[in-house]
Every structure is written in structure tokens, then in C-alpha cells.
Structure 1
Amino acid sequence: MKMETNFLKRLELQGFKSFAQKTTLEFSHPIIAIVGPNGSGKSNIVDAFRWILGEREAKQLRGDRLESLIFAGTSKKPPAGLARVSFYFSNRNNLFKEGGSEITLTRKIDRSGFSQFFLNNSEVRLKDILLILARAKLGTRGLTIIGQGESDIFIKSGPQERKEMIEEILGLKEFCLKKNQAQHQLTNSQINLDKAKAALEELTPHLRFLKKQKKRWDKRQEIEEELKILENQFFAFHQFQIKKSLGEISVPLKKLDAEVSKKTAEIKHLETQLEEVKKTEGDQKSFEEIRSKINELLNRRSFLEKTLGKLEAQKEMEKFKASPEIKRNYPTPINFSTLEFSTTLKSLISDLKQILNWQDLEKIKNTLKQWLEKLEKIFIGEEITEFKENKPILQSQDNFIEQKYQKTVAALKALEEELKDRKIEEEKIISHQRSFSQKFRNLVEILEEKKNELQTLERERQKMVFEKEKLNLKLKELEHQFETLGRSQEEFSRLETPYEENKEMDWSTAEKHILKLRGELAAIGEINQDLIKEADESEARYEVLKRQISDLEKASQDLKTMIKDLERKITVEFQEAFHLINEKFNQYFQLMFGGGKAKLKMRSQKTELRVIEENNPAEKAAAGEITKTEAKEEADSTMGIEIELSLPKHKNFGLDVLSGGEKSLVSIAAIFALIAVSPPPFLVLDEIDAALDETNARRFADLIKDFSGKTQFILITHNRATMEVAGILYGVILDKDGGSKILSLKLKEAVTQK
């Protein structure tokens, strides 16, 4: 019969252990039985339940490592790349606050060992999944899933483990996980608090020292601020004075610059005029050519005059030679050698030089007369000799000399005419030159006058420029002094606004005060900026530590309050249910054993605190602790559950003497007692009826049927009585390819058809 209260809807397996293909098991009935031969893969379905509910240890899943959950392949089928298990839950009772009317929980793992959880296709953390499942009374290490060979698990477990199983069934595990998480956070908070207090205690004396140094720095800062203001006033005033003087020079200097520019322009204009006048000077070359031509003409005239003189002499000589007197006096020719002639000439020159110094006039005349006679003998003798030798030629030369004489006279006359014309041209050029020289001289005089005026202006301008340079040097020196005080050029440039109100200040007194302040700074000494920075950082860290300590103390107090509230809630709800559980445990014990008594007792034990042990990583994740943990001594007592039994016709005795079947019956009685008080959504039981005889197997089947109205059962069984109460029977067999295969049968429909 399909019930409205079914929690599980279906299970999907793909690549998980022996289920290579996608396999779906529908859970449309409150009792599902799964049967099949040994080794077919029935228990793999239980492992799938345990894995998807958060189990992380491979040994709890009957493997050596988590990657072994993936289908390893057979000779006929290749291995799978990943394993996936999906559960579909009904959420009609709002066991899950997340999601709608149906919840899908999926877990995947690949061959690298990377595992993921998905809730309604959204990835979630294992920590969050464990809290959600704990709220729904589900877990991996309690009584929700009882594996093969664990039918006596409640008996074998220790007192503390029994208590945890009961808490899980009662839905208190969620609060236990929160409590463990809070305790872990409290431990971490206490550690952090101790560290913060130790750091604060270590920091305090050093901070005290740094504050003293910082006070000196603060005093230095006050002096530096006062000094900076006073220096700004001092330098701004002197800067203003210098700039004011520069401004007073600038106006006349600009005026002088304008006058210099004007005078320079005038000089340039005059120079241009002078150049124009120079162009009218005339061609000096032409004048020189005329002068050269005149000189040439004069030379030529002189030559012609000399030639004419010679010709006249020659004519007279011809007449003289032909006279009878010459013939009488010089019948024979006179012959002189060149040497004799040269010697005679030198003697003549010497005597003439002496004559110049003589005062005796008579002596001079006699000497000259002697020399005249001597010369006449020489020259007349030569001509006569030449005449005699060349007599035939001389006879024809008379006419030639006359002709030459006439030509020379004509040429001389023509030359005189040309010379006259040339001299007229020369006079014109000379007249033009006189006019040019006068004009040129006038312009030069004006130009010189203007240049003198310009020089005067330049001297005045240079004087002002020199004064300006002096003021600029003063300004530069002022700026240099400003920079030597450790101030920047940019700061100096910002002092342009004059301090008008400080003009009447006694600046000599102000300068002394500046020196005094600088002396105080020197006395304080340089402050290490790194130390000031360290002081600020230390003070900030001190405040952070104080806030951190305050926050940690508050957080610790809040966590302690939360832990107490959770302990109170767990204790109250546990104690309220514990009485009913005891009654039901005794009831089902008597049912299973046909009498006797059974009782659960809470006892306090001094034990080591189990701070999420290594063999339970699921709880580690839920408490936010996944790494290796340490065992600590717990000051408070730990509550555990002890079992007291009295079998029919036997006295009280311990659990160790029970047979295997009896231990299974006691555990089954405990399971039904727990689900009678607080029914979980479902239970997965793997062959826990295997050790029961036929009578007890029938009782077990009846109890399953009775409780199926509130709890859904997934049973792995070989027991006929258990199969008979199932609504759906799944058979698991090995397929031809070596993988597990599911066969299903709805028993009610089968019976009806039969």
C-alpha cells in the first residue's frame, strides 16, 4: 500500500560500486525488501545510503579508499569515471527547511578523490548537509543504518555511544553538533583570547616608552608649527620687499628699453641712409682708370717730348757733322773702349758730387770746362767714327729723321687734346666727390651723435639691470636661506602674498626668536620617524587588541551561554524521552524474550573528552573541525547509558554472557523502543534478522509492519517472514557484464494477479 507519509521516494545509483549503469529504486511503499544471492551487490545499496548521508571513511563503506566506490570495470564492461548517488525525499512534514515539497540530495566522486554534495542541484558543504540530516534524525553512525553483522550494535557500543545513538533518534544530534561546534569555537576563542592578552601584556610597556617619545615629538611639532609660521612671515615680508623694489625698477627699465629700441631704430635708419649715400659715391675704379689714363698720357707726352728733343738734337748733330770745322779738328776718329768710357763716367760723377760742396766759383767753372772738353772729345769722336762707317746710311737718314720729327709733333698735339679731355672728366669726378664727401660727413656726424645718445641710454639701462640683478640675487639668496631651513622651493613660491599686517614688526627681534626656536628644536633632537610610526602602529594595535579582547570575551560569554542553553535543551528533552524509552525498551524486551526485565540507566563517568575523534570525520565536518584533533581532559562528568537485563528464569547478569541471538534481540528491542518514542523518517537494516529463529523472525516482521505507519523501512533480508510484510520486493542479481542488476516486484499486485 502506497502511503502518503513515505519519506524516501527513490534512489538513483550510477557508477557506484557494482552498479555500473544508472539504476533507480522506487520507494513507493513504507516497507521495501531487497533480496538476492550473496555477492550480488545488496549491501552496496546500504553503502550508498551511508555514503550519501555523509560517511567519509572508506572502511565504513567496506573499501580501502573512497575511489574504490567507483565501478572498477569487468572483462566485459569498462570502469566508470565517477560514482553518483541521488536521494529524492518528500518534504511534506517540513523536515527540511531548504527546498520545496521534494528534496534531491546528490553526492559525486571522481577518480581523483574529489567529492561534491548537491542539494537541489546547488553545491553545498558536508558540514551543512550533516546539520540538515541531523535535524531530520538521520546519521551514519547511529541506528538509522545498521549494516550487515551489526544487529547487536546497541549492545556492543559503549555507554557514551549508546547515548549518542539515542540523541540521534530523538533529533538531538543537531543540537549536539551545534554544541560541539560552539565548544570548538569557544576553545579557539579562548586560545585567541590568551594570545591577545599575552600580546597586549607584551605591548603595553613598549607602548608606554613609545608614548613618551611621541610626547617629545608632539612638543617638537608645536615648536615646528610656531617656527614655520614665523619663518613664513619673515621670509614673506623680505620677499615682498625685494619684489616691490623689483617692481619699482621694472617701470623705468621698460621705459629705457623703449627709448633704446627707438634710438636703435633711428641709428639703423641713419645707417641705411649712409649706405644709400655710399652707393652715390661713384665708381672709384672709373676715377682710377681716368687718373691712370691721364698718367699714361702724361708719360706718353713726356716720351714724345723726349723723342722730339732727341730728334731735334739729331737734326742739329747732322748739321754739325757736315760743318768744315768738325772736319778740320777731328781728321781721325777717336776710339774709346767701354771700360774707358765707364771709368770716365764714374770720375765725372765723383767730381760733380765734390763740386756741390765747393764754395770757390772759379774752381767750379774750370773743372766743368775740363769735363766739357773731355766729353766733347768722346761723343763727337764716336759720332764721327759712326758717321764714317755708316756714311752711305747717314745720307738717307736725314729725310727719315725729318719725317719722324713731324709725326712726333703731330702725335704730341693729338695727345695734348686727349689729355685736356681727360682732365675735364677728372674735374667732374672730383667735384662729385667733394659733394659726396660733404653729405657723407654730415650723416656720419649725425650717426655718431645718435650712437653717443644710445651709449648714454645703455649705460643708464645697464645700471638699472645691474640693480635688478642685485635684487634677483638677493631673492635667490633669500630662497637659498629658506631651503637651508629644510623648506622646499614650492613652499617659498607660495609665500607670494605679503603679510601687510606684519610690516611694522621688529624683524630683528623676530629673527632672534627664530634662532631661539631652532635652538629648542636642536635641544630636543631629531625624532626617529620610524619610531613615531611604530608608536602610531603600536597604539593602533593596542586598540585593536583591546577591541579584540573585548569581542573575544563577549563571544566566549555568548558561546558559553549558547552551550549552556544547548546542554539544557539536550538534557531536558533527553530526560523527558528517556523515561518513555525505558518503558518501551522493557516492553519490547519482554515481547522478544517472553518475559524478563530490561532497563536503561544514565550514569556519570569521568572520561577523556572525545573532541571529535579521527574515526568520525563526519562529526569533524559538522563541528567545523576536519584536521587532526587532540584529546583534552574534561572537567565535567560525561553521561553514558548502561543496560541492565534480567532474562526469564535467570538472575541479573552482564551483557557479555549473552549469546549472539540474544544480543540481537536486545538491540532490536532497543531499536523499536527508540522509534516508538521518536520515529525517524526511515531505517536501513541489513540482515539484522539473520540470527533470529522463526518465532522471533515473525515477531520482528510484525513489529516492522506495526511501525511502518510512521517510519519507512529498507530491509536487506533472506528471511521469508520479513519478505512477506514488504510492499515492494527488489531482487539484486549479477548481470552478464558483471554489474549488479535490479529486479522489482510489487507484492500486492502480484497477489491480486495470482
Structure 2
Amino acid sequence: QVEQLSRRLGEVDERLVTLHTELEGHELERVGLDEQLGAERAHLAELEAQQEAAREQRVQWQVEAAQVEARLAAARERAARAAADAGQARRQGIALAEEMATLDRETAALETQASQWEDAVQERRHALGALQAAAEGAGTEVQEADGRLVEAEAALDEARKGLDALGADEHKLELERTEILGRKRGLVDRVETEWRKPLDQLLAEAPEVAGDIPWLRQENERLRTAIDAVGPVNALAVEEHAEEVKRLEFLSTQRDDLLAARQSLQQAAREIDQTAKAMFLESFGKVRENFRTVFQTLFGGGECDVRLANEDDPLGSEIEIHAAPHGKRTQRIHLLSSGERTLVAVSLLFAIFLAKPSPFCLLDEVDAPLDDSNVGRYVRLLAEFKDQTQFVVITHNPRTMQAADAVYGVTMQEPGVSTIVGVRLGQVEAV
């Protein structure tokens, strides 16, 4: 972004130089036009003086005068435009100067911000693992329930489609049956109307007719064609429809059960998150107070703090550690020396011990970057906690070894053969 501003500043400078050049050119043009205007006016006066002596050329001179006036108007217009351009150039120059000042201020602000960003580092710490694992498990169950719900809804959609298809077939058959029955009733009514007798009586009284009746044959063919057009009838359609209805009810019940299970799991996840948040904030507050106490003990004063980067989401928030040893300003721990960073880490470790004591702790060469005075503070802190916690310390520092109750070492008296030697300093006895 700074490079873009620098390029923008260069473009502004080039534009300013161009405007100055154009302004000088317009000024020279205006001077030339003024001189030309004076010459034309003198010429016009000379023409007026010779007007009486050259009346025969009156028309010609009038034309020339009109041409001169036209050139004069054009010159005046160019001069006005040049003056307007000059004013605009001056205004643009002022605006560009203001923009350059703004860009300078923005550049300074960006450089300051970039410096702050270079000093920033993010550290993240996840707490309350068991509760978070439970929350993740609940989330997994919710996802599985969602998957089963999707499958159930898909099956329900398939059942609905099958039910709709059966309903459509049933409706189509019913319509065709109604149409055939209607044609049959119409035929019976027509026969009974013609003969003024019921069809059953007519059939009983009708004599046998030899040969074919064309009309009956045509009607018979038409009815057969209509029946063939209907196609085969599914005799199990009603039973299949009933089965699909039962399956639809079963899938609907399953879907409702899955929805209820999902809501229950979501509620459980929310309750777990709330419980985890409350427990984390309680533990975080204790660790925060203990951290300040232990820090001041190790450093002999100073200030420190642990903060949540996002207080609205404590479980997912980063944890910032700020420390200010005695005589220094508060800053991020990555700006401290290696020894100071070690003491800050030890302070935080023992602050956690005070909040939730542990019966066992392993420290691997923690005192390596410490000078003698800080090693003394480190040893005194271990002595304060050794009644509550057993410490196994890996070290090469003699002062740390002197403070131990028992020292274990590995020696190699013979090449390739290691021997473990232990000494209880209180009894000065080899184990």
C-alpha cells in the first residue's frame, strides 16, 4: 500500500509539471493574441481613414473588416479559455498540494500501523478439553442426525412421488370408467326412449336377428377401441396406495423423531458450551490473579496480565500475554529477552498449578537461559511448591542441583556402558 501511494505521488508530480507547462504555453499564446489584437485594431483604424478615398473598395474592405472581427472574437475566446485554463490549473495545483499533504499523513499512519503489525504475534491456547470434546461429539451426532434426516426426507419424497403417480393413475382410470359408464347410460336411455320400454324388457322380447346389424357392430368396435385405449388396469393399485400411505406415515414419524433428536442434541450442545464457558471464565480468572502474584514474586515487582482477544467468544478466543518487568513498559512477551520469556512462562505454569494443583511436574532445562540471579528466584519458587507438587527437573545448572532433594545422573565409566547414579543430598548417600 505504501508503494501504491508512492506511485500515486509520482503521478501527481508529473501531472503538476504538465499543468505548469500548459499554463506557460497558454500565457504565451495570450500575449501573442494581445499583440495580434493591437495590430488588427491599428489596421482597422487605417482602413477607416482611407474609407472616403476608396469608396469603390468599400464592399471589399467591409468583408475584410468582418474577417478581422471574426479573428478578433476567436482570439478573445482563446484568451478567455486560456485564462480559464490558467485558473483551473491553479486550482488543480492547490488541490494536488492538499492531496500530497493528505498522502503524506496517510503514509506516516500506514508506516506506524505497519510497525505495530510487525510487533504483533498471535498465540492461542485451548482450554477445557473434555468439555470441548463432548461438544464436538454432540456436533457429530447432530451431523449424523441431519444425515439420517436428509435420507428420511429423500425416502419420503420418493414415497410421495409414488403415491402421486398411483393417485394420478387411479384418477385417470376413474375418469375413463365414468366416461364408459356415461356412454353406456346414454345408449340405454336412447334405446329405452326410442322403444318406450326398459332395456331388460326389450332384450327379453327381442327376437333373434339373423345376420349382423351394422350400427351395433360399429358401436361394439368403438367400445372395444375405447377399452383398448384405456390399457391394462392395475388391480393392486388400491393396495399399493394403502401401503404407500402407511410408508409415508412411517417416514413422517421418523422425520419428526429425527427433528426432535436434532433439537435435543443442539440444546445439549448449547448447554455444554454455556457450562464450558462458565468453567473456563472461572478458571481463567483464577489463573489471571495467580499469574500476577507469581510474576511479581519472580521479577521482584512489575506488571503482567493475560487477556482474551475476543471476550464475546472466550472458548475460541486467542489469549494474549502482556508483561512488564520492573522498570520496563508493558509489551508483548516476544519482545522480552529469552530469560525474561522463560520466567514469564514459569509464572504462567505455576499460576495454573495454584488454580488446579498437579501432583507431578516435569521441567526440561527451564533454567538454561537464566542468569544466576534469576536461577535463584526460580529455585526459591520450586521450593515453595515442592510440598504440593513433585518436581522432576532436567538441568545442567549447579545451583538448581544444589536445591534438589535427590540428584540422578548418567555416567559412562566404560565405553558403551552407561550407569545411573543417584544421590540424596540430605543424606549424601549413593543409591
TM-score by length of 1: 0.30
Which structure dedicates a bigger proportion of its chain to helix? 2
Higher relative contact order (CA 8 A, sep 6+): 1
TM-score by length of 2: 0.50
